[in-house]
Amino acid sequence: MRQLVAGNWKMHKLRGPAAALARAIAADSPVLGCDLLICPPFTALAAVAAVLRGSRVALGAQDCHAAESGAFTGDIAAPMLADIGCSAVIVGHSERRQYYGETSAQVRAKAVAAAAAALMAVVCVGESEAERDAGRAAEVVRAQVMESVPDGFEGVVAYEPVWAIGTGRTPTLDDVAAMHAAIRQALRHRLGLDGAGLRILYGGSVKAQNAAALLAVPEVGGALVGGASLDSGEFLRIAAVARRG
Ligand code: PGA
Protein backbone atom coordinates (compact mmCIF):
# COMPACT_ATOMS: atom_id res chain seq x y z
CA MET A 1 0.00 0.00 0.00
CA ARG A 2 1.32 3.45 -0.88
CA GLN A 3 2.23 5.35 2.27
CA LEU A 4 0.97 8.81 3.19
CA VAL A 5 3.27 11.41 4.70
CA ALA A 6 1.27 14.22 6.27
CA GLY A 7 2.58 17.44 7.80
CA ASN A 8 0.73 19.03 10.71
CA TRP A 9 1.97 22.61 10.90
CA LYS A 10 -0.06 23.32 14.07
CA MET A 11 -0.17 27.06 14.99
CA HIS A 12 2.87 28.01 12.91
CA LYS A 13 3.49 30.13 9.79
CA LEU A 14 2.03 33.37 8.53
CA ARG A 15 0.83 33.34 4.94
CA GLY A 16 4.13 34.30 3.29
CA PRO A 17 6.34 31.70 4.97
CA ALA A 18 3.53 29.13 4.64
CA ALA A 19 3.35 29.65 0.88
CA ALA A 20 7.14 29.44 0.64
CA LEU A 21 7.24 26.16 2.58
CA ALA A 22 4.43 24.70 0.45
CA ARG A 23 6.26 25.81 -2.72
CA ALA A 24 9.44 24.03 -1.64
CA ILE A 25 7.52 20.82 -0.88
CA ALA A 26 5.50 20.93 -4.10
CA ALA A 27 8.66 21.54 -6.15
CA ASP A 28 10.17 18.25 -5.03
CA SER A 29 6.97 16.23 -4.92
CA PRO A 30 7.09 14.89 -8.52
CA VAL A 31 10.06 12.67 -7.67
CA LEU A 32 8.43 11.28 -4.52
CA GLY A 33 6.29 8.18 -4.80
CA CYS A 34 4.28 8.44 -1.60
CA ASP A 35 1.11 10.43 -1.06
CA LEU A 36 1.72 13.86 0.48
CA LEU A 37 -0.55 16.03 2.60
CA ILE A 38 0.16 19.31 4.35
CA CYS A 39 -2.08 20.84 6.99
CA PRO A 40 -1.39 24.55 7.58
CA PRO A 41 -3.37 26.71 10.03
CA PHE A 42 -6.74 28.01 8.79
CA THR A 43 -5.41 31.48 7.98
CA ALA A 44 -2.81 30.11 5.56
CA LEU A 45 -5.09 27.64 3.74
CA ALA A 46 -6.03 29.96 0.88
CA ALA A 47 -2.43 31.01 0.23
CA VAL A 48 -1.19 27.42 0.34
CA ALA A 49 -4.09 26.19 -1.82
CA ALA A 50 -2.98 28.60 -4.54
CA VAL A 51 0.56 27.24 -4.37
CA LEU A 52 -0.50 23.58 -4.43
CA ARG A 53 -2.96 23.83 -7.32
CA GLY A 54 -1.92 21.32 -9.99
CA SER A 55 0.67 19.68 -7.73
CA ARG A 56 0.68 16.18 -6.18
CA VAL A 57 0.49 17.61 -2.67
CA ALA A 58 -2.92 17.51 -0.99
CA LEU A 59 -4.15 20.23 1.35
CA GLY A 60 -5.72 19.57 4.74
CA ALA A 61 -6.89 21.50 7.78
CA GLN A 62 -6.24 20.69 11.42
CA ASP A 63 -9.80 20.58 12.75
CA CYS A 64 -13.42 21.16 11.76
CA HIS A 65 -16.76 21.57 13.49
CA ALA A 66 -19.28 18.73 13.42
CA ALA A 67 -22.09 20.92 12.09
CA GLU A 68 -22.48 21.96 8.47
CA SER A 69 -23.10 25.57 9.52
CA GLY A 70 -24.62 27.39 12.46
CA ALA A 71 -24.12 29.73 15.42
CA PHE A 72 -20.68 28.50 16.48
CA THR A 73 -18.54 31.59 16.89
CA GLY A 74 -14.94 31.02 15.95
CA ASP A 75 -15.46 27.58 14.44
CA ILE A 76 -14.91 26.36 10.88
CA ALA A 77 -17.23 23.88 9.12
CA ALA A 78 -16.07 21.05 6.88
CA PRO A 79 -17.78 22.44 3.73
CA MET A 80 -15.80 25.68 4.25
CA LEU A 81 -12.59 23.65 4.15
CA ALA A 82 -13.64 21.87 0.97
CA ASP A 83 -14.58 25.25 -0.50
CA ILE A 84 -11.09 26.63 0.12
CA GLY A 85 -9.41 23.65 -1.55
CA CYS A 86 -8.89 21.11 1.23
CA SER A 87 -9.30 17.41 0.57
CA ALA A 88 -8.52 16.29 4.12
CA VAL A 89 -8.85 17.34 7.76
CA ILE A 90 -7.22 16.15 10.99
CA VAL A 91 -9.75 15.41 13.73
CA GLY A 92 -9.21 14.44 17.35
CA HIS A 93 -5.56 15.47 17.57
CA SER A 94 -4.37 14.91 21.12
CA GLU A 95 -3.85 18.66 21.54
CA ARG A 96 -7.57 19.13 20.83
CA ARG A 97 -8.51 16.27 23.14
CA GLN A 98 -6.16 17.59 25.87
CA TYR A 99 -6.66 21.37 25.73
CA TYR A 100 -10.28 21.52 24.58
CA GLY A 101 -11.61 18.36 26.18
CA GLU A 102 -12.73 16.84 22.89
CA THR A 103 -14.28 13.44 23.41
CA SER A 104 -14.19 10.50 21.05
CA ALA A 105 -17.91 11.01 20.41
CA GLN A 106 -17.19 14.57 19.24
CA VAL A 107 -14.31 13.34 17.13
CA ARG A 108 -16.60 10.79 15.48
CA ALA A 109 -19.14 13.51 14.70
CA LYS A 110 -16.38 15.58 13.11
CA ALA A 111 -15.27 12.60 11.02
CA VAL A 112 -18.87 12.22 9.81
CA ALA A 113 -18.97 15.92 8.91
CA ALA A 114 -15.69 15.59 7.05
CA ALA A 115 -16.96 12.66 4.97
CA ALA A 116 -20.18 14.54 4.16
CA ALA A 117 -18.02 17.33 2.75
CA ALA A 118 -15.93 14.79 0.78
CA LEU A 119 -12.89 15.37 3.01
CA MET A 120 -10.62 12.54 4.12
CA ALA A 121 -10.58 12.54 7.91
CA VAL A 122 -7.32 11.81 9.71
CA VAL A 123 -8.61 10.51 13.05
CA CYS A 124 -5.95 10.72 15.77
CA VAL A 125 -5.69 8.34 18.72
CA GLY A 126 -2.99 7.74 21.31
CA GLU A 127 -2.35 7.02 24.96
CA SER A 128 -0.86 9.33 27.59
CA GLU A 129 2.33 8.45 29.41
CA ALA A 130 0.41 7.58 32.59
CA GLU A 131 -1.84 5.23 30.64
CA ARG A 132 1.17 3.51 29.09
CA ASP A 133 2.92 3.23 32.48
CA ALA A 134 -0.24 1.65 33.89
CA GLY A 135 -0.17 -0.97 31.12
CA ARG A 136 -3.39 0.41 29.64
CA ALA A 137 -2.09 1.77 26.32
CA ALA A 138 -3.66 -0.83 24.02
CA GLU A 139 -6.98 -0.76 25.88
CA VAL A 140 -7.17 3.07 25.74
CA VAL A 141 -6.26 3.27 22.06
CA ARG A 142 -8.64 0.46 21.10
CA ALA A 143 -11.49 2.28 22.87
CA GLN A 144 -10.58 5.54 21.11
CA VAL A 145 -10.68 3.78 17.73
CA MET A 146 -14.01 2.09 18.46
CA GLU A 147 -15.60 5.37 19.61
CA SER A 148 -13.96 7.85 17.20
CA VAL A 149 -14.30 6.00 13.90
CA PRO A 150 -17.77 6.34 12.34
CA ASP A 151 -19.69 3.72 10.34
CA GLY A 152 -18.53 3.53 6.74
CA PHE A 153 -15.26 5.32 7.58
CA GLU A 154 -12.97 5.77 4.58
CA GLY A 155 -10.32 8.00 6.10
CA VAL A 156 -7.04 7.42 7.88
CA VAL A 157 -6.22 6.68 11.51
CA ALA A 158 -3.11 8.24 13.07
CA TYR A 159 -1.58 6.61 16.13
CA GLU A 160 0.19 9.32 18.11
CA PRO A 161 1.30 8.43 21.64
CA VAL A 162 0.78 11.70 23.51
CA TRP A 163 4.13 11.39 25.29
CA ALA A 164 5.96 11.11 21.95
CA ILE A 165 4.53 14.33 20.48
CA GLY A 166 7.11 17.09 20.32
CA THR A 167 9.37 15.36 22.84
CA GLY A 168 11.92 13.61 20.63
CA ARG A 169 10.92 10.33 22.26
CA THR A 170 9.39 7.49 20.27
CA PRO A 171 8.08 4.05 21.22
CA THR A 172 10.25 1.07 20.33
CA LEU A 173 9.60 -0.38 16.90
CA ASP A 174 8.11 -3.44 18.59
CA ASP A 175 5.70 -1.21 20.52
CA VAL A 176 4.69 0.57 17.32
CA ALA A 177 4.13 -2.79 15.60
CA ALA A 178 2.04 -4.09 18.49
CA MET A 179 -0.12 -0.97 18.66
CA HIS A 180 -0.67 -0.81 14.91
CA ALA A 181 -1.70 -4.47 14.95
CA ALA A 182 -4.14 -3.71 17.78
CA ILE A 183 -5.56 -0.75 15.84
CA ARG A 184 -5.96 -2.90 12.72
CA GLN A 185 -7.84 -5.47 14.78
CA ALA A 186 -10.09 -2.75 16.23
CA LEU A 187 -10.78 -1.36 12.75
CA ARG A 188 -11.74 -4.80 11.48
CA HIS A 189 -13.98 -5.24 14.47
CA ARG A 190 -15.52 -1.82 13.91
CA LEU A 191 -15.84 -1.84 10.12
CA GLY A 192 -15.55 -5.46 9.02
CA LEU A 193 -13.59 -6.07 5.84
CA ASP A 194 -13.50 -2.35 5.07
CA GLY A 195 -11.27 -1.91 8.11
CA ALA A 196 -8.59 -4.08 6.55
CA GLY A 197 -7.45 -1.61 3.91
CA LEU A 198 -7.39 1.71 5.77
CA ARG A 199 -4.03 3.35 6.37
CA ILE A 200 -2.78 3.68 9.93
CA LEU A 201 -0.18 6.45 10.27
CA TYR A 202 2.38 6.70 13.03
CA GLY A 203 2.95 10.16 14.56
CA GLY A 204 5.07 11.50 17.40
CA SER A 205 8.62 12.81 16.92
CA VAL A 206 9.01 11.45 13.39
CA LYS A 207 12.22 12.91 11.94
CA ALA A 208 14.37 12.23 8.88
CA GLN A 209 16.72 10.24 11.07
CA ASN A 210 14.10 7.75 12.43
CA ALA A 211 11.60 7.76 9.53
CA ALA A 212 12.99 4.82 7.58
CA ALA A 213 12.80 2.52 10.60
CA LEU A 214 9.30 3.66 11.63
CA LEU A 215 7.91 3.49 8.09
CA ALA A 216 9.22 -0.05 7.69
CA VAL A 217 7.18 -1.37 10.63
CA PRO A 218 4.33 -3.68 9.55
CA GLU A 219 0.92 -1.95 9.40
CA VAL A 220 2.49 1.53 9.39
CA GLY A 221 0.77 3.20 6.45
CA GLY A 222 2.62 6.49 6.68
CA ALA A 223 3.55 9.26 9.08
CA LEU A 224 1.90 12.28 10.66
CA VAL A 225 4.71 14.75 11.19
CA GLY A 226 4.58 17.84 13.40
CA GLY A 227 7.80 19.71 14.15
CA ALA A 228 9.80 18.16 11.34
CA SER A 229 7.17 19.18 8.78
CA LEU A 230 8.05 22.86 9.27
CA ASP A 231 11.34 22.40 7.43
CA SER A 232 10.98 21.44 3.77
CA GLY A 233 14.29 19.56 3.63
CA GLU A 234 13.51 17.50 6.70
CA PHE A 235 9.92 16.79 5.56
CA LEU A 236 11.07 15.76 2.09
CA ARG A 237 13.74 13.46 3.54
CA ILE A 238 10.98 11.71 5.49
CA ALA A 239 8.81 11.45 2.36
CA ALA A 240 11.76 10.09 0.39
CA VAL A 241 11.91 6.92 2.50
CA ALA A 242 8.13 6.25 2.39
CA ARG A 243 6.82 3.37 0.28
CA ARG A 244 5.47 4.07 -3.20
CA GLY A 245 3.09 1.19 -3.47
P1 PGA B 1 5.69 15.97 16.39
O2 PGA B 1 4.12 16.16 16.33
O3 PGA B 1 6.12 15.34 15.10
O4 PGA B 1 6.24 17.36 16.55
O5 PGA B 1 6.00 15.10 17.55
C6 PGA B 1 3.27 15.20 15.74
C7 PGA B 1 1.84 15.65 15.83
O8 PGA B 1 1.45 16.23 16.84
O9 PGA B 1 1.04 15.46 14.88
Q: Which of 4, 5, 8 is the best mutation target for the ligand 1 pocket, counting ligand atoms within 8 Å of the beta carbon and taking the most?
A: 8
Taking the C-alpha atoms of residue 69 and residue 227, their distance in angstroms, rounded to an integer, is 32
How many other C-beta atoms can be found within 10 angstroms of the C-beta atom of residue 6? Answer: 26
Residue owning the nearest CA to atom 1 of ligand 1: 226
The two beta strands, 120-125 and 156-159, are parallel
pLDDT at 153: 98
Q: Phi and psi dihedrals of 112, rounded to 5?
A: -65, -45
Distance of CA 212 from the midpoint of ligand 1 (Å):
17
> 27-68: per-residue pLDDT in tens?
988 788 899 999 999 999 999 999 999 999 999 999 999 999
Distance of CA 71 from the midpoint of ligand 1 (Å):
31
Q: Which of 5, 93, 163, 165 is the best mutation target for the ligand 1 pocket, counting ligand atoms within 8 Å of the beta carbon and taking the most?
A: 165
Question: What are the C-alpha distances in Å from 207 to residues 58, 67, 112, 119?
Answer: 20, 35, 31, 27
pLDDT at 160: 98
In CATH terms, is domain 60-197 a member of 3.40.640.10?
no
Taking the C-alpha atoms of residue 34 and residue 2, their distance in angstroms, rounded to an integer, is 6
> 67-87: per-residue pLDDT in tens?
999 999 999 999 999 999 999
CB 50 within 8 A of CB 26: no
Quick one: which atom of ligand 1 is closest to the CA of 165?
5
pTM for this model (two decimals): 0.97
Single out the residue of 91, 155, 101, 165 nearest to residue 127, CA to CA.
165
Taking the C-alpha atoms of residue 187 and residue 195, their distance in angstroms, rounded to an integer, is 5
Ranges of residues in the chain with a pLDDT under 70 are none
pLDDT at 232: 97
Hey, which residues does 7 pair with through a beta bridge?
38, 225
Q: Where do the domains of the chain lie?
A: 60-197
